Structures are given as structure tokens and as C-alpha cells.
């Protein structure tokens, strides 16, 4: 009898999670145009320096209580009012989409700081050869001072196993080109079950405000170093 009750409780919990995910996916889909408009307006705010972000829905801040609470927003606040922010992130972007739709815009800019976090949307239908080819093409088009993140932890198999392969590709490609890697995977994985239970939006995929602060922390050291180099003129933008 106890096993029957336990089984029923687990089944009800699963049904609840599935319904909750569906509800939140709808809510977050509705947030996409709101976040996009926020970042379109934000890039009009003047600044002596320029910070450009390449990425997907995480760059846009989907899952956060407001767009400014994305990791891009947290980093922009850290940089201060002297920086104009251009967020090229596109919700749902894969690495290939970033190449085709974000790199052309990047080519028209002369950013002082560039952050890149993309690839999580490639994991569901992961193709190792295609991912490696696309990552190398993306990285070849970045300025040498760009800061690239590896993929965040997916916590559970089989996603985490695919992420391990993807991150090896990311780190190897970055090393070949001398790009700094932000340790996003290590920083998110370190959160463990506490992170799983407290740092995700209701869809259980996108970070919430707490989760995005963790993401930003993975970039902070490299962003601070780059900003200092720009400020003292030891490394010109390009």
C-alpha cells in the first residue's frame, strides 16, 4: 500500500511539473518581444565605450524578472554608465544562427568588450562535427579580445554528456585562437541541486534572476580585466 501511495505521489508531482513547464513556456514566449524591445532601446543610450553581447535567449534575459537582470544586464551595470550596450542575442539562437544573423551586425561595430555565450540550443539535436565546424567559424570572426563562455551545466544525463563534448570543442577552438574562456560550466555545475531548485525559471531551462547572477559571475573576472585594459589604453578595441 505504501508503494502505491508513493507511486501516486510521484505521478502527481510529475504531472504538476509538466503543466507548470507548459505554463511557463507560454509566459516566457510572450516575454520575448518585451525583452527584444528593451535591448533595442538600450543600445540607443550613449556611452564612450561599447559592450557587445552575442548569444541566445539567456543574453536576452528570458526567465529573469526583467531584461536588465540577464547576465548581460548584470555585466553592463558592473561596467557602468560609460558603456553603450548592444545585445545581439536572439532567443532560440544556435551557433549557426549566431553566425548568420549576429555576426553581420558585429562586423559593423568596433566593440571594446565582447561576450559570447551560445550553443545550449544545439544540445538537443547535438551533432559533434557540425558543432565543431560552426564554433570554429564563429570564433574566427570574433575580435581577439572577445570573451567566450563554455556551455552551462545541464546537471543530468544525457544533456550533460553532450555538453562535455561541446565544451571540449569550445575550449580547444578558443585556445587555438587565443580567446579567453569564461568558466560558465564550472560555475553553474558548482551550484549543484541547490542551483537546480532555486536558480531556474518555471520552464526549468532558463535561469531566473539568481541564476543569471551566477552566469554573470563566470564572466566578471575576464570582463574586469578587459575593461581595465581598455581604460588604460594597453589594448585597443578592434
Which residues partner with 207 through β-bridges?
200
Task: Evaluate if residue 39 carries a pLDDT over 70.
Answer: yes
Banded pLDDT at 202 (limits 50, 70, 90): low
Domain layout of the chain by residue ranges: 32-232
Question: What strands lie across the sheet with 113-117, from one edge to the other?
Answer: 83-87, 49-55, 113-117, 147-149, 180-182
CATH superfamily, with its number, for domain 32-232: SGNH hydrolase (3.40.50.1110)
Banded pLDDT at 235 (limits 50, 70, 90): low
Mean pLDDT rounded to a whole number for the chain: 86
Banded pLDDT at 128 (limits 50, 70, 90): very high
pLDDT at 16: 43
Q: What is the pTM of this model?
A: 0.86
The CA distance from 169 to 208, in Å, is 27
pLDDT at 234: 63
pLDDT at 6: 44
Are 113 and 79 in contact, with CB atoms under 8 Å apart?
yes
Task: Evaluate if residue 106 carries a pLDDT over 80.
Answer: yes
pLDDT digits (tens, 9 = 90+) for 208-233: 899 999 999 999 999 999 999 998 87
Q: How many CB atoms lie within 10 A of CB 107?
A: 8
Q: Is 97 helix (H, G, I), strand (E, B) or coil?
A: helix
pLDDT at 232: 85
Task: Evaluate if residue 173 carries a pLDDT over 70.
Answer: yes
Amino acid at each position: 500500500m505504501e508503494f502505491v501511495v508513493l507511486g501516486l505521489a510521484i505521478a502527481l508531482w510529475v504531472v504538476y511539473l509538466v503543466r507548470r513547464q507548459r505554463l511557463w513556456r507560454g509566459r516566457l514566449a510572450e516575454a520575448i518581444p518585451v525583452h527584444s524591445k528593451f535591448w533595442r532601446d538600450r543600445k540607443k543610450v550613449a556611452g564612450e565605450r561599447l559592450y557587445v553581447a552575442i548569444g541566445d535567449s539567456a543574453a536576452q534575459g528570458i526567465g529573469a524578472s526583467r531584461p536588465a537582470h540577464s547576465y548581460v544586464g548584470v555585466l553592463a551595470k558592473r561596467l557602468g554608465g560609460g558603456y553603450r550596450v548592444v545585445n545581439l542575442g536572439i532567443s532560440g539562437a544556435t551557433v549557426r544562427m549566431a553566425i548568420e544573423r549576429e555576426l553581420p551586425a558585429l562586423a559593423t561595430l568596433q566593440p571594446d568588450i565582447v561576450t559570447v555565450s551560445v550553443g545550449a540550443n544545439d544540445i538537443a539535436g547535438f551533432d559533434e562535427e557540425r558543432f565543431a565546424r560552426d564554433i570554429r567559424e564563429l570564433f574566427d570572426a570574433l575580435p581577439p579580445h572577445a570573451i567566450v563562455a563554455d556551455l552551462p551545466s545541464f546537471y543530468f544525463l544525457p544533456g550533460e554528456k553532450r555538453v562535455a563534448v561541446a565544451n571540449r570543442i569550445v575550449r580547444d577552438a578558443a585556445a587555438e585562437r587565443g580567446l579567453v574562456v569564461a568558466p560558465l560550466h564550472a560555475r553553474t555545475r558548482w551550484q549543484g541541486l541547490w542551483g537546480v531548485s532555486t536558480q531556474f525559471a518555471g520552464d526549468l531551462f532558463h535561469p531566473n534572476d539568481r541564476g543569471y547572477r551566477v552566469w554573470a559571475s563566470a564572466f566578471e573576472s575576464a570582463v574586469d580585466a578587459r575593461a581595465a585594459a581598455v581604460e588604460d589604453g594597453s589594448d585597443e578595441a578592434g
